[in-house]
Amino acid sequence: MKEVIFNFEKLKVYQKSLDFIDFVYNTTKIFPKDERYGLTSQYRRAAISIALNISEGHGDTNPQFNRYLSIAWDSIKECVTCSTIAKRRNFISEETNIETRTKLEELAKMISGLKRRLKK
């Protein structure tokens, strides 16, 4: 059977956002059980939101896609805050916090570049 690939799945930023989701799920596995419906859930939803907004906006008009990319960028900021809280609560190490921020910075730059390209 032929594999079906949607155009948004070819975007490097979309693929990177899926990698980040995997990273967040692995990171939050070690969070305390009493955070399951708190920070763990919020962090995972914010990470997922990045990929969802990229896929949802792709293929629409450039202004609409730009709007979805802005929402994805907002979710990146939410992930930064979740990582900061996790570090402050000692759920993650400083190294994990730095790794998280590095991955988010890369995603943010990719989204910003795509947004600039769409405005042309």
> Residue 45 corresponds to which tokens in the numbers above?
């939803």
CA distance 50 to 119: 20
First to last CA, the chain: 39
- The pLDDT tens digits along the chain (120 residues) read 899 999 999 999 999 999 999 999 999 999 999 999 999 999 999 999 999 999 999 998 999 999 999 999 999 999 999 999 999 999 999 999 999 999 999 999 999 999 999 987
CA distance 47 to 57: 16
* Helix spans in 1-120 (H): 12-28, 39-57, 62-88, 94-119
CA distance 51 to 38: 21
pTM of the model: 0.95
CA neighbor of 50 nearest in space, from 113, 2, 109, 111? 111
Q: What are phi and psi for residue 112, nearest 5 degrees?
A: -60, -40
